Amino acid sequence: MVKLGTEKRPAVARVQTEARASEIASICNEHGWYYIIGFEPDKPEDITDVERLLNPSQPVKAITTPGRNDPPMSLWEWEEV
């Protein structure tokens, strides 16, 4: 899958005012992202792509649990538990 904010997959934003459009454009230009901004005053604002670029999600880390082939705990480790 192509990364968001690139030339092949630009960030898409829909705004209601020209001032907001220039604000979103300046944010994208600061970070070097490609973007498409639609000026639609009769529809609600949608800037989710830009928000995803500003706040990328972190991958979920699995909790490691001891398996059956792990070495047994020493006497000192049992006292800590």
Digit-by-digit pLDDT tens for the chain (81 residues) are 889 999 999 999 999 999 999 999 999 999 999 999 999 999 999 999 999 999 988 888 877 776 677 766 665 555 555
pTM score of the predicted model: 0.69
pLDDT of amino acid 74 = 64
Residue 61 in domain: no
Residue 11 in domain: yes
Q: Which segments within 1-81 are labelled E, that is strand?
A: 11-15, 35-39
Residue 1 in domain: yes
pLDDT of amino acid 44 = 94
Domain count for the chain: 1
Q: In terms of Cα–Cα distance, which of 49, 48, 39, 50 is closest to 14?
A: 39
Residue 79 in domain: no
Residue 18 in domain: yes
Taking CA 7 as the corner, what is the angle to CA 5 and CA 13, rounded to the nearest 5 degrees? 45
Residue 72 in domain: no
Residue 66 in domain: no
With beta carbons less than 8 A apart as the criterion, state whether 37 and 15 touch. yes
Residue 31 in domain: yes
pLDDT of amino acid 34 = 96
